[in-house]
A and B are shown apart, each in its own frame.
Chain A
Amino acid sequence: MSRDLLLVALPYASVAIFLAGTIWRFRSARTISSQSSQFLERRWLAWGTIPFHFGIFVVLADHLVPLVAPDMWRVLVSKPWGLLAVESLGAGGAMLALLGLTILLLRRLGTGVVRASSSFGDIAVVVLLIAQAALGFAVASLHRWGSVWSVGTTVPYLRSLLAFNPDVTYVAGVPPLMQWHLAGAWIILALLPFTRLVHMLTFPLGYLFRRPQKVVWTT
């Protein structure tokens, strides 16, 4: 019962909150921003934000590709070089992200002007991301070759959730650490629209396609 709560109710609740929250947040876009603090402090920021963002994208790709294309993934990790590439990219990305996040947290708490201009949420998201990345890193190093065993467990489970036909038996045997890592993801997703993390939804791809100048008439 409590397992269903964690593995079925939480994901759906999280996605629902994420969707509703995003719509609510974008109803007035006045508060949506990267909330950059580069203006206040830039040296440590560079050392934190660049490895973090770069690392997190690699890690996210490592998580999303098997979900989207499980068959291709299975073939990939069945080859030794593929497995090695995937695992070392993931580990490298995670380490970069963790390193970056640690610097970001220390900077946020340790720089007077940045600390003073931080909201509770600004600090909380960094702490949450550190916890989540550390959990993921622990799973990967304590239970080796996650990119292989996840193909038969978390991947089909997550796909069953996506297909609105949840089947928790896939993940019945995954390590508890992994369960926490899953729960962490849902919590972060649910909080996303209500924190600064919302900035990742506004990636301005349109810039590639627009004219440089913009002239607007209202009369």
Chain B
Amino acid sequence: MVKLDVRAQVSMVFHLDKCIGCHTCSLACKNLWTERPGAEYMWWNNVETKPGTGYPSNWEDQDRWQGGWSVGQAPSPVLRSQGKLTGLLKLFYNANQPGLDDYYEPWTYRYSDLFDAPQGDVQPSAAPISQITGKPIDIKRGPNWDDDLGGSPLYAENDPNLASLTEDERKSLFEVERMTMMYLPRICNHCTNPACVAACPSGALYKRGEDGIVLVNQDACRGWRACVAACPYKKVFYNWKTGKSEKCILCYPRLETGQPPACFHSCVGRIRYMGVILYDASRIAEVANAPVEKLIDLQRSMLLDPNDPVVIAAAEENGVSAQLLAAAKQSPVWKFVREWELALPLHPEYRTLPMLFYVPPLVPVMGHREEGLYTRAGDRESIFNAIDEARLPVKYLASLFSAGDPEPVKAALRKLMAVRWHRRSLEFKTIDPQQILADAGLTVEQANAIYRLTALSTLEERFVLPPLQREEALSTFGDTAAEDCRQSCGLGRTM
């Protein structure tokens, strides 16, 4: 057997069944990090309505942006946006980069108008002014312009994921009575095979070895913006004022003092979970280069069981601290992703091996069949049929979370359904949950544990993190140019 190269990663789960789309996370992040000149338009955390085109507009259209990786000659995948030489040519002009019109021109209001207006018959109003030019602007679009399906014909219908549906399915999605939507909160995935890092000509981006956080060294960044093009999630942003690129830092100053990131901490729906995941870094290239139908399984298998003595020994040998190991054993992320297989990566086909996983949403309740009357889904047949007949087609979810394969999404939804029916059975003795649970592949203990972690979990259960203690390292901002791969560097080749 090949030797394990164990790395620890602070990883995440977003439970979409619980997201209420309130944007509190986005604002917590904005207030903390991006209220600066040049960063006004950045939303390191944003919440998208799906179906919708998201932010920046149509970020999932990789034919246009060329983000992420494609299958390359074994053993490693290749960046879609550039090769080594084309990367240098694209320094001068890079056609795959989003611009102001894909985001929006940031603006504020001239509030002084409210005070300075002369006395008159009408109430004064504050004129919108551009935060770039300082001049009045005609606002054309803004962040979340398509929130809650606002402007559907312009936005929702252009969602690239709808390509997986038939014409009829697409139509029925936008009939008023059947209209449906879900929320997709997004931050940087702190990927295991980050395209942003691989694309940076200056080597300014790097992944921290201890916790896997992906950062941009602001001293090494030269503003070439190859990372912006390469990140398929468009989670690196270019600061037009400083001329450097920036991204979500997973609130590492908070993590290092034992606090969860601001977006996690402030989440009203408590949808966010954070925990340590151990993974085998020697398999990154192989997994990222796998055939598309194997991506989910292989990425799962790359994550290592924190209770396995072999894994523990290899982790210790790699210098994973005792606190991190202890945290890994309590990790809610391990439970959601591996034990219960409820959480899936967003767009695994981008091959960056994201470390943020999503529990697909079960809402809205099924039952559109009977002209607006809900059928009482009493027997288990119709319980699981309901998943196939959901207003939000499984195919759509599969396009988001499992590279088009409906099975992993269905399996997760079945489990979510079974947990609900199990809870209901405790109140209504007429329901026998045993068979439903068995069909979904859950034990009663698991159903209870899922219920507890989903509905009742405390802050400490949702965020299982030791202080990362990097502040004890000699220098946090040490020489990030000096790379040190310990054992494997992911993609090992130079070209």
Residues of B95-129 whose CB lies within 8 A of A: 95, 97-100, 105
Q: Indicate if A202 sits at the interface (CB-CB under 8 A).
A: yes
Contact of A50 among B92, B207, B240, B473 (CB under 8 A): B92
A169 CB to closest chain B CB (Å) equals 41
Q: Indicate if B377 sits at the interface (CB-CB under 8 A).
A: no
Chain B neighbourhood of A217, CB < 8 A: 208-210, 319, 484, 486
Closest to B97 in A: A38
Chain B neighbourhood of A37, CB < 8 A: 240
Residues of B205-222 whose CB lies within 8 A of A: 205-210, 218-222
Q: Indicate if A163 sits at the interface (CB-CB under 8 A).
A: no
Chain B neighbourhood of A115, CB < 8 A: 133
Q: Indicate if A208 sits at the interface (CB-CB under 8 A).
A: yes
Q: Indicate if A176 sits at the interface (CB-CB under 8 A).
A: no
Q: How large is the interface on A (under 10, 10 to 19, 20 to 34, 35 or more residues)?
A: 35 or more
Contact of A211 among B7, B222, B482, B491 (CB under 8 A): B491
Determine which residue in A34, A211, A214 has the highest number of CB atoms from chain B within 10 A of its CB, and name it.
A214
Contact of B91 among A35, A204, A206 (CB under 8 A): A204
**Are B483 and A214 within 8 A (Cβ)?**
yes
**Are B97 and A204 within 8 A (Cβ)?**
no
Chain A neighbourhood of B336, CB < 8 A: none
Instruction: Digitize B471-495: 1 where CB-to-A-CB distance is under 8 Å, 0 elsewhere.
Output: 0111110101011111001111110
Q: Indicate if A219 sits at the interface (CB-CB under 8 A).
A: yes
**Are B207 and A34 within 8 A (Cβ)?**
no
Compute how far the CA of A39 lies from the CA of B203 in the bound complex, rounded to whole angstroms.
21
Compute how far the CA of A42 lies from the CA of B134 in the bound complex, rounded to whole angstroms.
21
Determine which residue in B76, B99, B284 has the highest number of CB atoms from chain A within 10 A of its CB, and name it.
B99
Chain A neighbourhood of B203, CB < 8 A: 204, 206-207, 210, 214
B78 CB to closest chain A CB (Å) equals 9
Compute how far the CA of A39 lies from the CA of B224 in the bound complex, rounded to whole angstroms.
11
Compute how far the CA of A45 lies from the CA of B99 in the bound complex, rounded to whole angstroms.
12
Q: A34-B243, A113-B130, A219-B470 are in contact. Are A214 and B205 (CB under 8 A)?
A: yes
Q: List 5 A-B contacts (CB under 8 A).
A: A29-B219, A50-B93, A204-B202, A206-B203, A215-B485
Q: Indicate if A33 sits at the interface (CB-CB under 8 A).
A: yes
Compute how far the CA of A34 lies from the CA of B482 in the bound complex, rounded to whole angstroms.
23
**Are A33 and B225 within 8 A (Cβ)?**
no
Chain A neighbourhood of B209, CB < 8 A: 215-218
**Are A204 and B194 within 8 A (Cβ)?**
no
Determine which residue in A28, A33, A37, A40 has the highest number of CB atoms from chain B within 10 A of its CB, and name it.
A33
Number of interface residues of B (CB under 8 A): 73
Q: A37-B240, A113-B133, A212-B490 are in contact. Are A45 and B97 (CB under 8 A)?
A: no
Instruction: Digitize B167-211: 1 where CB-to-A-CB distance is under 8 Å, 0 elsewhere.
Output: 000000000000000000000000001100110111101111110
**Are A36 and B223 within 8 A (Cβ)?**
yes
**Are A116 and B474 within 8 A (Cβ)?**
no
**Are A34 and B100 within 8 A (Cβ)?**
no
Closest to B195 in A: A212
**Are A216 and B202 within 8 A (Cβ)?**
no
Interface residues in chain B, defined as those with a beta carbon under 8 Å from any beta carbon in chain A: 7, 76, 79, 84-85, 87-88, 91-95, 97-100, 105, 130, 132-135, 193-194, 197-198, 200-203, 205-210, 218-225, 238, 240-244, 281, 284, 319, 469-470, 472-476, 478, 480, 482-486, 489-494
Interface residues in chain A, defined as those with a beta carbon under 8 Å from any beta carbon in chain B: 28-42, 45-46, 49-50, 53-54, 112-113, 115-117, 199, 202-219
Contact of B93 among A31, A41, A45, A206 (CB under 8 A): A45
Closest to B495 in A: A208
Compute how far the CA of A35 lies from the CA of B238 in the bound complex, rounded to whole angstroms.
10
Compute how far the CA of A134 lies from the CA of B105 in the bound complex, rounded to whole angstroms.
36
Contact of B242 among A33, A38, A41 (CB under 8 A): A33
B70 CB to closest chain A CB (Å) equals 14
**Are A116 and B133 within 8 A (Cβ)?**
yes
B80 CB to closest chain A CB (Å) equals 13
A146 CB to closest chain B CB (Å) equals 27
Chain B neighbourhood of A29, CB < 8 A: 219-220
Chain A neighbourhood of B220, CB < 8 A: 29
Compute how far the CA of A28 lies from the CA of B133 in the bound complex, rounded to whole angstroms.
29
Q: A210-B203, A214-B205, A216-B480 are in contact. Are A33 and B243 (CB under 8 A)?
A: yes
**Are B88 and A202 within 8 A (Cβ)?**
no
**Are A38 and B243 within 8 A (Cβ)?**
no
B74 CB to closest chain A CB (Å) equals 15
Chain A neighbourhood of B134, CB < 8 A: 116
**Are B223 and A33 within 8 A (Cβ)?**
yes
Chain B neighbourhood of A32, CB < 8 A: 222
Q: A210-B203, A217-B486 are in contact. Are A42 and B99 (CB under 8 A)?
A: yes
Compute how far the CA of A214 lies from the CA of B482 in the bound complex, rounded to whole angstroms.
9
Contact of B135 among A112, A117, A204, A208 (CB under 8 A): A112
Compute how far the CA of A36 lies from the CA of B38 in the bound complex, rounded to whole angstroms.
12
**Are B99 and A39 within 8 A (Cβ)?**
yes
Q: A30-B219, A38-B97, A39-B100 are in contact. Are A211 and B224 (CB under 8 A)?
A: no
**Are A34 and B484 within 8 A (Cβ)?**
no
Chain B neighbourhood of A35, CB < 8 A: 223, 243
**Are B219 and A210 within 8 A (Cβ)?**
no
A29 CB to closest chain B CB (Å) equals 4
Compute how far the CA of A115 lies from the CA of B133 in the bound complex, rounded to whole angstroms.
8
Closest to A204 in B: B201
**Are A39 and B198 within 8 A (Cβ)?**
no
A119 CB to closest chain B CB (Å) equals 10
- Known pairs A213-B491, A216-B206; list 15 more (Cβ under 8 Å): A32-B222, A36-B225, A38-B97, A113-B133, A116-B132, A204-B202, A207-B200, A211-B483, A212-B493, A213-B194, A213-B197, A215-B486, A218-B209, A218-B474, A219-B210
